Structure 1
Amino acid sequence: MPKLKPLGSASYAMVVFLCGGSSLFAQTYDVAIMNGRVMDPETGYDQVANVGISDGWIVKITTDPIEGTDVIDATDHVVAPGFIDSHTHSSQKYALNMSMMDGVTSAYDGEVGAVHIADWYAREEGKWSINYGTCVSHELARMVVLDGLTIDQPSDATEVFDLRALASAEDGVADWSVTRANIEQLNQIMAIIDKGLQEGALCAGSTVGYAGTGISTYEQFELQRTAARYGRATGVHGRFHTSSQNPEAPLGFDEVFTNAYLLDAPLLYSHNNDYGWWEIEEKLQLARAKGLNMWSEYYPYTAGSTSIASDQLKPEAIGALGLEYKDIMYDPSEDKFLTDEEYASISADDPGRAVIVFNPAREEWLPQWLRVPHMVVASDSMWHSEDLGADGDHTEFAGHPRTSGSHSTVLKLARDNDVELMFTLSQLSYWPALHMGGTGVKFLDVRGRMQEGMAADIVIFDPETVAPGSDYKAKMQGTPPIGIPHVIVNGVFTKRDNEPTGELPGQPMRFPVEDAPRQVKVDTQVWLNTFTLQDGALDGVGPSFGKGD
């Protein structure tokens, strides 16, 4: 399929004329979606109507009859903008297909990310059933500089657990996680970040929550400042994430929130679905009221998933929560909950193994997340130990069911809890597009909306029956949802009559490549000259408060 190009007003008018603006043409649209409940969360449009698609664009939404080369009867179904997922870790094609089957039409990794960004986009071109993108990875940059890993090929979250194990293989120390960078190392780390942003990465991604000992507060500030020089967001897995004891989880948010506020920079706060989420959401709403582009995510499960050797899963952290491994830690590869002894053995021998960890408190919180404005749905999707391929058997997938069922789960929960469907579609489609689009990603300015002139990324679902097919049971973790018969990406069916079509129309979400870096290296003498009194003069920004006119 040729790449979709934005339509200017003149060319859009021409498409409208050729595809239906004149009665001279009886058969008009490439695809006609008939008699569906068309819902647009930006304008509030909610009406049974017909949708005409041509050349990958929504050309017509009307209650009048239309015709098309390909016709879909959407009676009793919702026709909505395709879901946008800001937290997709896997570039494995089977995992991507699971997301697509769940209604996702655009996905990017806004947390772990990748390195060698230009090569990553080149590698992925033409291989995705959905639109794709990535941030540049703080964690992988630290591995290169502090652990001395040679990462000379594009690498992303799919490799990160193996790289974590490799980082500590020689001396038993994961320097990326526990070692402070000196100024020279800090500048080397930021050079990798800057290079990724120069090559078009959507944002900078930080897993400081896994490296709270190693990443100094100044390094975190410098990371966000590096992204801010490009006007881009930083996506953050916060320091102290999940902690209900001092230092509490919201302190990790306060750190990156303060940085973003002072830098006038966008902020994406990852999976805010644990302790302290209510405080964080209140602060985010206050920030948006001041005009700041800050938002957060959740996924609709009472369990999370990460590598077994993560700091947040160590005995002291689990004990502080009053929990025991045998009750909360499930190993999908073994299909069983782990004892203390099994945890200790596996975390030592296979530290990168993915486990599922239950949090009982989420049972109360989850229905509340369904009603939080601008808290978007993001799956935190994971990969299988081996890529099962685009046509893989879903019973072979072993992992968290959020990969295959986050979005359908939200739709079912919203239905069960009497949440307005338009609000839910805002969480699934519109707000993800609005906020990342607001950082300058023009690709998303024409997505997340069901309007004439928007890209034809569309999901069609039955609001009365849509539900996940997957759960935590073995052989069920990758089961596709029910009630989502059709998915369209850039005007092409990627799911038709509940089956994947095998089409790969996904296009890259990416900033334009820039000719020169924007990095400003940290230098002690420059700092002193800027922020302290030198030779009777203060050259820095200085305080505006209290100055005379």
Structure 2
Amino acid sequence: MKKRSVLTSIGLSVLVLSSGIAYGQSFDLIIKNAMLLDGRGGKAVRADVGIESGKITKIGNMAADKAHQVIDANGKVVAPGFIDLHSHAERSIAELPRLDNLVQQGITTILGGNCGFSPVDFKQFFAQTERSPLGPNLALLIGHNDVRKAVMGEEQRLASADELKAMQALVDKAMQQGAFGLSTGLKYVPGVYSNFAEVKVLAETAHAQHGFFASHMRDEGAEIVTAMNEVLDIAKETGIPVHISHHKLIGHPNWGESKHTIQMIRDARKAGLDVTLDQYPYTASSTRFAILFPAWSLAGGQAEVEKRLHDPELRQKIKQGLIKNIREDRGGGDPARLQIAHYAANPAWDGLTFAEVLKREGRAQSIDEAAELAMEIQANGGAQGIFHAINEDDVKYIMAYPITAIATDAGGSELGKGNPHPRGYGTFPRVLGHYVREQEVISLPDAIRKMTSLPAARMGLTDRGVIAQGYAADIVILDPATVADKSTFSAPHQYAEGIEYVIINGQVIKSPDGMTGKSAGQILRHTL
């Protein structure tokens, strides 16, 4: 009788007959000759990866195994698919469900519902989305701004006890339907009109269902310390895990303060608070130009804003607030630092700076005229802007902090439409190329950790973010010698280089020849 023995290779068993002939297994897909970075931050190891039914089922020497499809990684890096903790792509999923601009970066999972903006009826949204050919996996936070708007509209006042209970009910319902936590956008209408007590109660509601709290804080410039203390106090008083969104220091007077803010996070963690953060690797932010306006001037919606802009006294008061913000905050003190990303009323201005628009129109390139232009744009429906007001040294310092995750803060983009922030095409490759290979700010294994297991841990995912047996087969194959972002502020619609394969739930979504046309993304629901 032939006897069987078991050999172990990298912790995995291979069945061998006494005759010395190996009988392998059969897989849907095998990735051979990989330099494997498993997402935990350790050094790369050479191994093969076997995938069956959307799961990673074997890691090791698979020379005797067979598969319907074999990818020879040829010594390239094989890593877990990237998890984007701060996405706004759920807003564009109806029109662009495959989200090619994100997937081609290596992103296999996005967490939407950030900055306080999200669907309120998760059940309905998920039902509609599951009928679409979804590119990456999608998870959501429940957004405070939309919850407040559903109950109170855009009024500038505090919530009554009954209104607060109504908001709690919406947050609780969303958590039961799969939300991973609560997000706030305390710089935006109507969240800007809330107080600490309101946010605390809603955070407690999310925490009761084991969610976390992601906050676009009230300020990222001159008042950032006060804003951070508010968020950290919520963590202290509720016990909820806290995540600081797109951490940065806006405005020239605040450059260099990242040393202070990161120390605040260190101290909070030493005190036992569960605090993390994310960052995009650019010296410009992007949001609507309404961010420059005093919060009071935006109350009640666009119709009320237009009324105020037609009132000479109120218009002058708004202008003074705009001048201050352009000089000291997101304006960077220079009209050339304000760039138009997309202006529906006049797409010919897309990509131009305020300085360029003013020059075209024969107007003075001054902060005063920039404020006038901002009011004119807002009166015509507003526009998406890019604000060049962040310092490179702060970007590097924040990136080097061990618990900073990488995130895009981007949505879906259609090639050639508008002039979006390049983070929508290049965030993850930019870190891997510019900040890892060229600048050596962080190591490659650590960068992969910040893109995979770190965000997975923040979300509480137990089957993604690491290459391990039984985990979902979300995988990226990249060339560390060539990976690079190509998207720029003047020519953003360019896919990155060096991301060779993107595999989502076992399906090859991107190959070296481009997007394959397949879609395998799933809705991820938070469970207790």
TM-score, scaled to structure 2: 0.79
Is this contact kept in 2: 1:356–1:400, CA < 8 A?
Answer: yes
Residue aligning to 2:142: 136
- The more displaced of 59-68 and 215-224 is 59-68
- The more displaced of 314-323 and 54-63 is 314-323
Residue 342 (1) aligns with residue 373 (2): yes
Q: How is 1:234-313 mapped onto 2 (pairs within 5 angstroms)?
A: 234-240=213-219, 242-244=220-222, 248-274=223-249, 275=254, 276-311=257-292
1:122 shift after superposition: 1.1
Residue aligning to 2:492: 477
1:96 shift after superposition: 2.0
1:309 aligned counterpart, secondary structure? helix
1:74 shift after superposition: 0.9
Residue aligning to 2:78: 79
1:471 shift after superposition: 1.0
Q: Distance in 1 between matches of 2:51 and 2:468?
A: 11
Residue aligning to 2:400: 371
Residue aligning to 2:122: 117
User: In the TM superposition, what whole-angstrom CA distance separates every residue of 1:356-408 from its partner, at most 9, and x where no partner exists?
Assistant: 1111x422222223311110011001345xxx4xxxxx233531111111101
Q: Distance in 2 between matches of 1:44 and 1:137?
A: 35
Residue aligning to 1:492: 507
Q: How is 1:94-493 mapped onto 2 (pairs within 5 angstroms)?
A: 94=96, 96-109=99-112, 110-111=114-115, 112-127=117-132, 128-147=134-153, 174-175=154-155, 178-211=156-189, 213-240=192-219, 242-244=220-222, 248-274=223-249, 275=254, 276-311=257-292, 314-321=322-329, 323-333=332-342, 334=349, 335-338=351-354, 339=358, 340=370, 341-351=372-382, 353-359=383-389, 361-384=390-413, 388=414, 394-396=415-417, 398-412=419-433, 413-418=435-440, 419-437=442-460, 444-473=461-490, 476-493=491-508
1:104 shift after superposition: 0.4
Is this contact kept in 2: 1:382–1:399, CA < 8 A?
Answer: no
Is this contact kept in 2: 1:130–1:489, CA < 8 A?
Answer: yes
Structure 2 CA distance for partners of 1:21 and 1:368, relative to 1, 3 Å: farther
Structure 2 CA distance for partners of 1:114 and 1:67, relative to 1, 3 Å: same
1:265 aligned counterpart, secondary structure? coil
Structure 2 CA distance for partners of 1:477 and 1:27, relative to 1, 3 Å: same
Is this contact kept in 2: 1:486–1:493, CA < 8 A?
Answer: yes
Q: Distance in 1 between matches of 2:119 and 2:25?
A: 45
Partner amino acid, structure 1, of 2:437: R
Partner amino acid, structure 1, of 2:217: G
Which of the numbers 34, 37, 48 marks the counterpart of 1:36? 34
Q: Distance in 2 between matches of 1:125 and 1:191?
A: 25
Is this contact kept in 1: 2:286–2:385, CA < 8 A?
Answer: yes
State the aligned residue count: 446
Q: Distance in 2 between matches of 1:223 and 1:78?
A: 42
1:466 aligned counterpart, secondary structure? coil
1:318 aligned counterpart, secondary structure? helix
1:139 aligned counterpart, secondary structure? helix
User: In the TM superposition, what whole-angstrom CA distance separates every residue of 1:282-316 from its partner, at most 9, and x where no partner exists?
Assistant: 23334444554321010011111101112468332
Is this contact kept in 2: 1:233–1:267, CA < 8 A?
Answer: yes
Partner amino acid, structure 1, of 2:152: L
Q: Distance in 1 between matches of 2:425 and 2:271?
A: 36
Q: How is 1:65-76 mapped onto 2 (pairs within 5 angstroms)?
A: 65=63, 66-76=65-75
1:411 aligned counterpart, secondary structure? helix
Structure 2 CA distance for partners of 1:453 and 1:86, relative to 1, 3 Å: same
Q: Distance in 1 between matches of 2:513 and 2:214?
A: 33
Structure 2 CA distance for partners of 1:431 and 1:496, relative to 1, 3 Å: same
1:512 shift after superposition: 4.1
Superposition CA RMSD, Å: 2.3
Q: Distance in 2 between matches of 1:215 and 1:504?
A: 40
Partner amino acid, structure 1, of 2:128: R
